[in-house]
Amino acid sequence: MDATAYGRLFDLSGRRALVTGGQRGLGRAIATALACHGAEVWICCEDARDCTAAAEALRVQGLNVHAIACDVADRAALSAMVERVMAAGPLDILVCNAGVAPHAGAITTASDADWQATMTINLQSVLWLAGMVLPGMAGTGGGSMMIMSSIAGLRGNRALGLYGLSKAANAQLARNLAVEWGPSNIRVNAISPGFIRTDLSRDLLDNPDFMQRRMAMTPLRRPGEPAEVAGVAVMLASAAGAFITGQNIVVDGGTLITDGN
């Protein structure tokens, strides 16, 4: 590989990406980073107004971003959304970021409705999307799929057990899909963020007792930033990550490896 090729390792020019849950938080950061590196990006979420506003804010910055509203828990709506996005051309990058955590507390106290919502949005929709997108991706030479997991899926959790269960399944789904689609030059990986500074974590960021405990468990002694997760997504989407598949990449400042001191 010559110097010019090394310079293009993270170049996504000419690539087309779909990011679910792309209107805010980590999804928006990933959509922004992909677009900054040259990709044409579609972001989707259930609320059309939020989705449109997010895309317009990114377009003002000169980024090639489009909005499309979709409830990922609705298979028919998901299929229609994918058909519309792919009508303009095949997808090269798929980021399954949409997720919910409707139940907090002991996992045995989760209602059937909590289970259904969590598993449908966090897991079933990802499998649906894989079935809708990956065949077309294979037909054009391959691509990259990323599934947002979490460190909650890698350890026990008193408060988010049901969410963690779905995220553990996400990581296993990435491994299975990587094996199935690897011969078609499709790479599938999971990303497991730790405690990241987003709007959803604002209450915890403002809680001194929580922050003292959590930062003591984190070797880098700080929360992560959305851009630090987005950077991993860019790597996995680009030539820089072309030999990485079936992995669950942890982005947590070392929380999982610490002894708590």
pLDDT 10s digits, 31-41: 999 999 999 99
Q: How far, in Å, CA of 214 to CA of 171, rounded?
A: 24
CB neighbours of 168 closer than 8 A, spacing ≥ 6?
149, 153, 154
Architecture, CATH, for domain 11-196+225-249: 3-Layer(aba) Sandwich (3.40)
Average pLDDT, the chain: 95
- Is residue 190 within 8 Å of residue 146, measured between CB atoms? yes
Using left for φ > 0, alpha for ψ between -120 and 50, and beta otherwise, residue 184 falls in alpha
Other Cβ atoms within 10 Å of 62 Cβ, number = 9
Q: How far, in Å, CA of 41 to CA of 61, rounded?
A: 14
- Residue ranges of domains in the chain: 11-196+225-249
Determine the angle formed by the axes of helices 161-181 and 125-139, rounding to 10 degrees.
Answer: 20
Rounded to 5 degrees, what are φ and ψ at 185? 65, 35
| Alpha helices per DSSP H over the chain | 3-7, 25-36, 48-60, 75-86, 112-119, 125-139, 161-181, 202-205, 208-216, 226-237
Residue 261 confidence (pLDDT) above 70: no
Q: Shortest CA distance to 12 belongs to which of 95, 98, 82, 136?
A: 95
Could you list the active site residues?
163
- Residue 98: band (very low, low, confident or very high) from pLDDT cuts 50, 70, 90: very high
- Is residue 153 within 8 Å of residue 168, measured between CB atoms? yes
Give the number of C-alpha atoms closer than 13 A to the C-alpha of residue 24, restricted to the C-beta side.
Answer: 13
pLDDT digits (tens, 9 = 90+) for 15-70: 999 999 999 999 999 999 999 999 999 999 999 999 999 999 999 999 999 999 99
Predicted model pTM = 0.96
DSSP 8-state code for residue 101: -
Give the largest CA-CA distance in the chain. Answer: 58
